[in-house]
Amino acid sequence: MNENPVVREKGNVVKVSGNNPIKTLFRKGMFMLKAQLGLIVFFFKLKQKQILFFGSHIHRIFQNGQYFNRFYDSMVDFHGLQNKVYNVEYQKINEPIYNKKAVISLNTYLDYHKLVNKVYNKFRKRKPLLALKQYDQFCNDLSGLNLKLEDLRLSENHLIEWSEKVNTNNMFFERLYKKVKPQKVIFLGYYGLDDLYAALLAANKLGIKTIDFQHGPQTNVHLAFSCWNKIPEKGFNSMPVEFWNWDQASKNNIDTWANTANGVKAKVVGQPYLGYWMHKMKNENIKKQYVFYSLQTHPFSIEDFLTPQIIALIKRLKYNWVLRLHPRNNLDIDELKLFLKTNKIENKAHIQDAFNVPLPEVLTASVLHITNYSGCLIEAYQLGVPTLLINEVGHEMFSEYIDNKLVYYLNQNETHFQQAFEDVIKNCENLPILKESINVFNPLGGFK
């Protein structure tokens, strides 16, 4: 057996001793020292800001040579708030990025915090406590539905592990908030990530206003925004106390349950990027030349989107089609290109990345937007661009919007689908392009 294994590092051969406990301990010690020093420097450099925005690279568009957060940076740039905010990026950071001095790489510093606490926890003797009212009854109800707690990660061990993780990370955010002293902490989707729950928990504990800013559809089938039947009087400590919505219909869905909790409320603030973009492009001449198709993610396949009916329409209609990928696209682009070529529509159907072309730019240049159930429907509606829903789920989600003027629904399985589709196109061809301005909300001062 080779006592000195060889590894390659960037093309160079480096000899590494086998299991040398002293070197291992030294390496771990250096990692620990780097983490501690990194945290000290990070917190020392922080300044007081009025708002902490939590967002991701999937919320950004590449414009003017920078990655620009469609929701937050629209408000920041329009109202000159660059020095009053921090943008906390909780996934990867793409460079170059707008207002870089305000960007915080959460993964970097939270990972330092996690490492330091992992070491400290080895010397702590804490007995986990679990206190959940009616937990046993809850377990029995799930068992009656043939659902296993282990599979759902709802066993006692899972819940203890999760709560300890959130509480540990909560300490990092408490320290962050006490240094920055923000008036508001705003999230683009508060749910799904343990780090965000910890950030919410800390802010709520310190009495800082926590806000969820709408980033997509918030309809009756979205469980993060619907069907909350039992709510504590003051709301959940791991949920926002305020919800900022694009439109009244989205607010109405929140109100159905939020009105039962004291201190939890919803308000309409609009989709700021629409107003921001229209203000920038108000003197541009826009021509309607596309059918815009917003694609989605799992469980849809290429064949689900481009059915024989849709392929026939692409071939027959005079318009070019834009196939807009979802920001979290899971379709294989090469397969999609091959599919278009195989069906001889590659010259009429063009694939568009979600990050390189502003959504309002392509929407306003489209005679019709079609989708299964994308939240682009709401943005199209606010821009006066008609939408055609072609999926039953979309019909259920957006039934409140369907008016056969700006929002239509057609069942793809109907015999006369193609003819009905063409009739919708004809109805939409003469609709005027929206000229009136859309207000850009100021997160510090509201509408003016």
| Nearest-angstrom CA–CA distance, 154 and 158 | 6
Contact 112, 38 (CB under 8 A): yes
At 16, phi and psi to the nearest 5?
-125, 130
Q: Token pair for residue 138?
A: 């809850």
pLDDT at site 263: 81
pLDDT at site 25: 64
Cα within 13 Å of Cα(196), Cβ side: 22
pLDDT at site 10: 45
pLDDT at site 122: 73
pLDDT at site 235: 82
pLDDT at site 84: 98
pLDDT at site 14: 44
Residues whose CB falls within 8 Å of the CB of residue 109, separated by 6 or more in sequence, listed in order: 38, 39, 42, 172
| Nearest-angstrom CA–CA distance, 48 and 188 | 22
Distance of CA 373 to the CA centre of its chain: 16
| Nearest-angstrom CA–CA distance, 79 and 395 | 37
Three-class DSSP labels, the chain: CCCCCEEEECCEEEECCCCCHHHHHHHHHHHHHHHHHHHHHHHHHCCCCCEEEEECHHHEEEECCEEEECCHHHHHHHHCCCCCEEEEECCCCCCCECCHHHEEEHHHHHHHHHHHHHHHHCCCCCCCCCCCCCHHHHHHHHHHCCCCHHHHCCCHHHHHHHHHHHHHHHHHHHHHHHHHCCCEEEECCCCCCHHHHHHHHHHHHCCCEEEEECCCCCCCCCCCCCCCCCCCCCCCCCCCCEEEECCHHHHHHHHHHHCCCCCCEEEECCCHHHHHHHHHCCCCCCCCCEEEEECCCCCCCHHHHCCHHHHHHHHHCCCEEEEECCCCCCCCHHHHHHHHHHCCCCCCEEEECCCCCCHHHHHHCEEEEEECCCCHHHHHHHCCCCEEECCHHHHHHCCCCCCCCCEEECCCCCCCHHHHHHHHHHHHCCCCCCCCCCCCCECCCECC
pLDDT at site 351: 97
| Nearest-angstrom CA–CA distance, 209 and 204 | 7
| Nearest-angstrom CA–CA distance, 252 and 266 | 8
Contact 326, 300 (CB under 8 A): no
| pLDDT tens per residue across all 448 residues of the chain | 444 554 444 444 444 445 677 777 667 778 888 999 999 999 999 999 999 999 999 999 999 999 999 999 999 999 999 999 999 999 999 999 999 999 999 999 999 999 988 887 777 666 666 677 788 888 888 878 887 778 888 888 888 888 888 988 999 999 999 999 999 999 999 998 999 999 999 999 999 999 999 999 988 888 899 888 878 877 889 999 999 999 999 999 999 888 877 788 999 999 999 999 998 887 677 889 999 999 999 889 999 999 999 999 999 999 999 999 999 999 999 999 999 999 999 999 999 999 999 999 999 999 999 999 999 999 999 999 999 999 999 999 999 999 999 999 999 989 999 999 999 999 999 888 776 778 999 999 887 5
Does the model's pTM come out above 0.75? yes
Contact 305, 295 (CB under 8 A): yes
